[in-house]
């Protein structure tokens, strides 16, 4: 069978039935973020570049591509039927998560499983009811795909600004082919299109398992876009290459903006916890509870769950690591270009969060009365979105110290050893200098307050066609490689981000076997970490865990190299004063990109 590289458009796991929203109109990368619009995952009180210098080599290990065949899946279509899926398992689970958790309850798959497990088909019974998915093919392995699966009821009406509730169960199989609705947010050319409503607490599952007994590691992805925009519905996040590595992949939609991070004194009084805000984090935690109940039905292991996220998704990972409500629901964590919420000012104090909520209420014309909460919930989501987006309101969605979901700040939780005791990968892309000089080494060092290890990386790779002085791996670029979807590297979001970081991403990237190697290596490393808690891959790379003393990190590029000097490893993008990219110049210094402190969308 003909082999195709990861950057071939035909390498996407082809499916027989594809919703119109799935591949035709959706953007390739759904960060929807606001580096230039002012909505990011970073420290809300800081908007300046911290600078940094170049690093020396310090290399202690290398790995290079051998030939173009190292990462070339085929993409044959398959016929949907009720037969078992070809075995894509890679062996049993490895847990040992450092905090003694073993996961929550597991459900069956509609009837009692045998000792060898029940064969998976395109119809699976979840804890709330049966769903019909579809079958794709990736490098000779079948991957089952289920989209828009409810994990909680629509948080509208009386349920708006409350903890997520169980959805109404169903008995007739429902189609899980099309994406579910996106959560309310501001429209942007950087966001994926598709229906938007408050009935948006849904997730997407991709599994290569053949049987329920395969118990593959589960990787749950939290999308970027600050805490304001974005969706888990994406051809990149929903690509079949990553699950074909032997993991179950879940992408989550959750409340955003003024629906996910709105605080108000009246709402706090309604609860026995005297707290409000962080509803988006409560949604994420509820999605992890759903995973605990349903992982086995998809051939996954509820005792081996990795949460990972990029940009604002990194903040979401941090919120789960810092929340006592999420302990035991996951066993490893990966933060990609999203460590800023771990800074001392990265979590908003309660008083400030509530004051912002009161400004939104005032903009809606709602006075402080006994029925303020009722009046707020009576407003349409469109009215709430408009009021919270008004420039004079200055509502900036952020994690807040609410006393319940986050009893203390993220920074304090890590400093006091109160975070989840799970192995952590944290890093960013080479052009995101601000994260390397501040939060990445600090966050990695703070893992010394628990027994689990931290691993630091710097993603340095650029496609050959984009390499020029002043252009470095920019925010979000690694996602195409993490998910093995190089065909989406020139999506609108990547063009926006690269253009604002001294690069010319509209040019032909000239993808090559080197890009295949980087994608294949990154997926192998990420999934090895999910399987074992250690990202070292025999025969590929021995990744040294970070300590303040060794200052070690993995440079991910055409070569994999363990180096030292995290703070000095970032590069400052260069732009010309006329807005263009200079033809020459040193790889350091120059003018920082206006509005972006590499590491700050």
Reported as a single tens digit per residue, the pLDDT across 64-123 is 443 333 333 333 333 333 223 233 333 333 333 333 333 333 333 444 445 578 999 999
Helix (H, G, I), strand (E, B) or coil at 20: helix
Of the chain, the percentage scoring pLDDT greater than 70 comes to: 76
d(CA 314, CA 461): 20
Q: Look at residues 169, 177, 174 and name the one whose alpha carbon lies nearest to residue 204.
A: 177
Mean pLDDT for 214-229 is 96
DSSP H or E segment with residue 524: helix 513-532
Task: Write down the pLDDT at residue 228.
Answer: 95
- Return mean pLDDT, the chain: 82
Contact (CB, 8 A) for 376 and 264: yes
> In the Cβ-directed half-sphere of 308, how many Cα atoms lie within 13 Å?
25
Average pLDDT over every residue of 130-139: 95
In this prediction, residue 116 carries a pLDDT of: 77
Q: How far apart are CA 460 and CA 102, in angstroms?
A: 36
User: CB of 597 within 8 A of CB of 27?
Assistant: no
Picking from 311, 320, 258, the residue whose alpha carbon sits closest to that of residue 284 is 320
Question: How many C-beta atoms lie closer than 10 Å to residue 390's C-beta?
Answer: 12
CA distance 576 to 376: 48
| Per-residue pLDDT, 454 | 98
Give the mean pLDDT of 533-562. 98
Mean pLDDT value of segment 285-308: 98
> If pLDDT is split at 50, 70 and 90, which confidence band does 201 have?
very high
SS3 322: helix
Low-confidence winner among 72-81, 350-359, 455-464 (lowest mean pLDDT): 72-81
pLDDT in tens, 499-531: 989 999 999 999 999 999 999 999 999 999 999
What SS3 state is found at 145?
Answer: strand
What is each CA distance from 325 to 305, 354, 407, 544, in whole angstroms?
16, 22, 10, 31
21 pLDDT above the threshold of 70: no
With the C-alpha atoms ordered 329, 484, 69, 555, is the resulting torsion angle positive or negative? negative
CA distance 193 to 196: 9
pLDDT in tens, 309-346: 999 999 999 999 999 999 999 999 999 999 999 999 99
Q: Which of 200, 158, 209 is nearest to 180 (CA)?
A: 200
Structure tokens at 64: 């290079």
pLDDT band at 190 (very low <50, low <70, confident <90, very high): low
CA distance 409 to 502: 35
Tokens 């080599």 locate to 57
pTM score, whole prediction: 0.81
CA distance 433 to 148: 37
Map out the domains of the chain with their CATH numbers.
9-34+70-564 (3.40.50.1820)
- Categorize the per-residue pLDDT at 576 as very low, low, confident or very high, splitting at 50, 70 and 90: low
């Amino acid at each position: 069978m003909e082999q195709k590289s990861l950057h071939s458009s035909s390498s996407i796991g082809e499916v027989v039935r594809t919703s119109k929203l799935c591949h035709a109109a959706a953007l390739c990368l759904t960060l929807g973020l606001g580096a230039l619009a002012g909505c990011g995952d970073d420290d809300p009180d800081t908007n300046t570049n911290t600078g940094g210098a170049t690093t020396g080599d310090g290399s202690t290990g290398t790995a290079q591509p051998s030939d173009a065949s190292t990462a070339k899946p085929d993409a044959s279509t398959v016929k949907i039927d009720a037969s078992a899926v070809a075995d894509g398992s890679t062996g049993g689970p490895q847990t040992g998560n450092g905090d003694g958790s073993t996961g929550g309850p597991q459900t069956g798959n509609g009837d009692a499983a045998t000792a060898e497990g029940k064969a998976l088909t395109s119809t699976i019974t979840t804890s709330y009811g049966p769903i019909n998915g579809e079958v794709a093919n990736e490098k000779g392995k079948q991957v089952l795909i289920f989209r828009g699966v409810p994990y909680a009821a629509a948080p509208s009406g009386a349920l708006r600004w409350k903890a997520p509730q169980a959805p109404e169960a169903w008995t007739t199989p429902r189609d899980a082919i099309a994406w579910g609705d996106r959560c309310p947010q501001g429209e942007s050319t950087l966001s994926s299109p598709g229906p938007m409503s408050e009935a948006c607490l849904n997730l997407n599952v991709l599994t290569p398992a053949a049987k329920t007994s395969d118990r593959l590691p589960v990787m749950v992805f939290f999308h970027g876009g600050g805490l304001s925009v974005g969706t888990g519905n994406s051809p990149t996040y929903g690509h079949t290459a990553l699950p074909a590595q032997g993991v179950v992949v879940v992408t989550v939609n959750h409340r955003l903006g003024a629906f996910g991070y709105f605080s108000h004194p009246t709402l706090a009084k309604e609860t026995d916890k005297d707290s409000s805000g962080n509803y988006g984090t409560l949604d994420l935690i509820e999605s992890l509870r759903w995973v605990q109940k349903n992982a086995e039905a998809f051939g996954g292991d509820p005792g081996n769950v990795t949460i990972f996220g990029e940009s604002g998704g990194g903040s979401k990972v941090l919120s789960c690591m810092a929340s006592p409500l999420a302990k035991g629901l996951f066993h490893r964590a990966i933060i990609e270009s999203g460590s800023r919420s771990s800074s001392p000012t990265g979590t908003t104090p309660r008083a400030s969060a509530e004051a912002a909520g009161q400004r939104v209420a005032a903009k809606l014309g709602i006075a402080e009365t006994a029925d303020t909460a009722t009046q707020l919930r009576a407003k349409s989501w469109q009215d709430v979105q408009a009021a919270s987006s008004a420039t004079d309101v200055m509502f900036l969605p952020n994690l807040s110290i609410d006393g319940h979901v986050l009893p203390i700040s993220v920074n304090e939780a890590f400093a006091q050893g109160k975070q989840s005791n799970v192995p952590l990968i944290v890093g960013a892309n080479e052009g995101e200098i601000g994260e390397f000089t501040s939060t990445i080494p600090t966050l990695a060092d703070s893992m010394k307050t628990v027994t689990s290890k931290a691993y630091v990386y710097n993603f340095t790779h650029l496609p050959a066609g984009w390499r020029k002085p002043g252009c470095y791996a920019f925010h979000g670029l690694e996602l195409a490689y993490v998910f093995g979807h190089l065909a989406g590297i020139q999506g609108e979001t990547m063009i926006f981000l690269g253009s604002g970081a001294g690069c010319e991403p509209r040019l032909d990237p000239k993808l090559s076997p080197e890009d295949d190697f980087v994608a294949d290596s990154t997926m192998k490393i990420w999934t090895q970490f999910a399987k074992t808690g250690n990202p070292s891959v025999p025969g590929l790379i021995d990744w040294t865990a970070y300590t303040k003393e060794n200052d070690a990190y993995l440079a991910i590029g055409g070569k994999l190299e363990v180096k030292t000097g995290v703070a000095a490893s970032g590069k400052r993008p260069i732009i010309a004063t006329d807005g263009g990219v200079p033809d020459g110049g040193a790889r350091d210094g120059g003018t920082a990109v206006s509005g972006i402190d590499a590491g700050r969308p």
